[in-house]
Amino acid sequence: MIGITSFGLFIMAALLMNLTPGPDTMLIISRSVSQGKKSGIYSVLGISSGALIHTFFAAIGLSVILAKSVFLFTLIKLIGATYLVYLGIKILLQKSSAMEISDTSSLSLKKIYMQGLITNVTNPKVALFFLSFLPQFIVPNTSHSTISFVILGLTFVMTGTIWCLIVASFSSYITEKLRSNSRMEAVMNKLTGIIFIGLGIKLFQTKAS
C-alpha cells in the first residue's frame, strides 16, 4: 500500500487498542445505560469526530516533518516506539480498575455529541498516541505521506467506531460482563501490554537493521 508498511500489524494493534476498555468506552457505556442506545450512539459519533480531528492534525504535522527531514521523522518514530513500550509496561502494571462508570446527568443529544467530541479532542494522551503510533507504519522516503497518514488514521477511526457502536448497542450486557468479571479485564490489559511492548521492540529492531 502507498507509503505504508506492516498494514496487517497496524490493523491488529488498532483493533486491540480499540477493544481495550478506556475512558471513551466508559463514557459510551454510561450514556447508553443512563439515557439509552441513541445517546450512546451520539457519544460514539462525538468521540469518532474527535479522533478524525486528531488524524487530520497528525497527518498534516507529521507530513511536514517528513518533507523537511527524514532524520527528524525517524527520530520521532524511535521516540514513538519508546512511548509504545512505556504504554505496554504501564498497562501490565496497572492494578486499579478502569471499569468504573461515573454517573451522568440527562443531556440533549447535541450536548452528548459535543461532550464526546470535546472529551476526545482535549485529551493530550489521544494526541500523543496518534503522533507515536501512526509514524511507525509509514515509509520515511514516501512521497505520499499525507495520504498514507490519512489512510492509517481513517482505518483506526473506522475500527474504533464499529466497536464503539457495538458497545453502545449492547451496553447493558457488556457492562454487567465487564464489571462482574475482573479476570476478563486483567487478561485484556495484559494482552494489550504485551502486544505494545512487542510492537515497540520490533520497531527498534527494524530500525537497527
Query: Tell me: the pLDDT tens digits for 57-91?
Result: 888 888 778 777 878 877 877 887 787 777 678 76
Query: What pTM was computed for the model?
Result: 0.68
pLDDT, residue 98, reads 47
Instruction: Look up cell 440533549; give the residue.
Output: 108
Looking at residue 96, the DSSP 8-state letter turns out to be S
pLDDT beneath 70: ranges in the chain: 1, 21, 87, 91, 94-106, 142-143, 172-189, 191-193, 195-196, 198-200, 202-209
Angle between helices 70-93 and 124-133 in degrees, nearest 10: 120
Note the helical H segments in the chain.
7-19, 23-35, 37-68, 70-93, 109-121, 124-133, 145-169, 171-180, 182-208
Backbone φ, ψ for residue 81 (5° rounding): -65, -40
Q: What percent of the chain has a predicted confidence (pLDDT) above 70?
A: 72
Question: CA 25, CA 36: separation in Å to the nearest integer?
Answer: 15
